[in-house]
């Protein structure tokens, strides 16, 4: 299976870049599954259903979330009707929405996508390791599902690396989100799981993690409420990675980062 994962979409420039490139990428890279993190798609804070639908229309299969999941409060009442939007699985029981989804490809193959959130330097949630393990216990990679993609939305690199190793051999791809900074440590772990600590953001990098520089810098220099944070509006870089798996095992055969447009060094998978 050929899988594309894109990191946190930030604001209009990020959305527009993603909806523009995904149709081409689906075709040119012969993608089977496209997963994007959308927690900052709505003006930097949360995800509206309308934006999610634009993403689906552009060829996205699943949208994951994170600590900004509920910034758009309307999503709380809408998420249960749209299973392709998933929120971190380790929210407490009773939280609207689901933490995972099984999507069926047009050819009948199935992929399990899981979203989970780290706890180091973040909110007090349920154990992300048990949450993922509980979900995976209901599926068998290479048997009931052909691929498993895990978005670990977390601050601490150590928690993400640990998640990668814990799932090594049991997931196709474990990828981090949340820092809005793509990491260069993409690799296939010893037991066959593709891993990257952070996918990076789809947004304008001439910013502070996607938000306008001046307002964001002011918050570090002064400790007072200042100008509202607004997404930066320059040209976005689309950032993520592509993985090709072996359907018989669900494990990764090849992996490569992908960065298109904007200010970062461009790179494209060569497979």
Annotated binding site for Fe cation: 8, 39-40, 67, 153, 178, 180
120 near a second copy, rule: CB under 8 A: yes
Segment interacting with a second copy, rule: CB under 8 A, options 19-27, 55-63, 90-98, 100-108 = 90-98
- What is the chain's Cα-based Rg? 17
DSSP annotation of 208 reads B
* Number of residues assigned to the chain: 271
Q: Which is nearer to a second copy, 83 or 96 (CB)?
A: 96
The CA distance from 262 to 21, in Å, is 13
Segment interacting with a second copy, rule: CB under 8 A, options 37-45, 51-59, 178-186, 244-252 = 178-186
- Rounded to the nearest whole angstrom, what is the least distance from the CB of residue 109 to a second copy in the complex? 28
Segment interacting with a second copy, rule: CB under 8 A, options 49-57, 58-66, 211-219, 245-253 = 211-219
216 near a second copy, rule: CB under 8 A: yes
185 near a second copy, rule: CB under 8 A: yes
- Distances in Å between the alpha carbon of 217 and those of 159, 207, 209, 240? 27, 9, 11, 26
Annotated binding-site positions? 8, 39-40, 67, 153, 178, 180
- From 20, 134, 155, 233, residue interacting with a second copy (rule: CB under 8 A): 155
The CA distance from 245 to 15, in Å, is 27
Residue 186: name its binding partner from a second copy, Fe ion, none (Cβ under 5 to 8 Å by kind).
a second copy
Is 200 buried (19+), middle (13-18) or exposed (0-12) by CB count in 10 A? buried
- From 26, 178, 186, 259, residue interacting with Fe ion (rule: CB under 5 A): 178
68 is annotated as an active-site residue: yes
Region class of 138: left (phi > 0), else alpha (psi between -120 and 50), else beta: alpha
Three-state secondary structure of 140-163: CECCCECEEEEEEECCCHHHHHHH
| DSSP element (H, E) containing 34 | strand 33-37
Residue 64: name its binding partner from a second copy, Fe ion, none (Cβ under 5 to 8 Å by kind).
none
Site string for Fe ion, 33-62 (x = CB under 5 A): ------xx----------------------
Position of tokens 């509206």?
48
Q: Which is nearer to Fe ion, 8 or 244 (CB)?
A: 8
Residue 27: name its binding partner from Fe ion, a second copy, none (Cβ under 5 to 8 Å by kind).
none
- Distances in Å between the alpha carbon of 203 and those of 190, 196, 241? 32, 19, 15
If we measure between CA atoms, which residue out of 46, 103, 119 comes closest to residue 79?
Answer: 46
- Rounded to the nearest whole angstrom, what is the least distance from the CB of residue 238 to a second copy in the complex? 13
Residues near Fe ion, by CB under 5 A: 8, 39-40, 66-67, 178
User: Which residue numbers are catalytic?
Assistant: 68
């Amino acid at each position: 299976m050929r899988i594309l994962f894109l990191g946190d979409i930030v604001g209009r420039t990020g959305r527009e870049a993603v909806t523009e490139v995904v149709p081409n990428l689906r075709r040119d890279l012969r993608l089977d599954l496209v997963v994007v993190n959308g927690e900052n798609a709505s003006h930097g804070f949360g995800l509206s259903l309308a934006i999610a639908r634009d993403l689906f229309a552009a060829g996205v299969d699943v949208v994951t979330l994170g600590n900004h999941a509920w910034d758009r409060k309307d999503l709380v009442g809408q998420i249960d009707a749209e299973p392709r939007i998933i929120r971190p699985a380790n929210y407490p029981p009773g939280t609207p929405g689901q933490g995972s989804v099984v999507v069926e490809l047009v050819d009948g193959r199935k992929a399990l996508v899981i979203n989970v959130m780290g706890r180091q330097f973040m909110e007090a949630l349920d154990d992300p390791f048990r949450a993922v393990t509980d979900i995976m216990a209901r599926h068998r990679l290479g048997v009931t599902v052909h691929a498993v993609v895990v978005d670990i939305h977390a601050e601490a690199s150590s928690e993400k690396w640990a998640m990668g190793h814990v799932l090594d051999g049991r997931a196709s791809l474990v990828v981090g989100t949340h820092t809005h900074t793509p990491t260069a440590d993409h690799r296939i772990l010893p037991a066959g799981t593709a891993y990257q600590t952070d996918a990076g953001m789809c947004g304008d990098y001439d910013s502070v993690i996607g938000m306008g520089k001046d307002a964001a810098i002011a918050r570090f220099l002064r400790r007072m409420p200042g100008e509202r944070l607004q997404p930066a509006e320059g040209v976005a870089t689309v950032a993520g990675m592509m993985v090709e798996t072996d359907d018989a095992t669900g494990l990764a055969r090849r992996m490569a980062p992908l960065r298109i447009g904007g200010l970062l060094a461009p790179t494209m998978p060569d497979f």
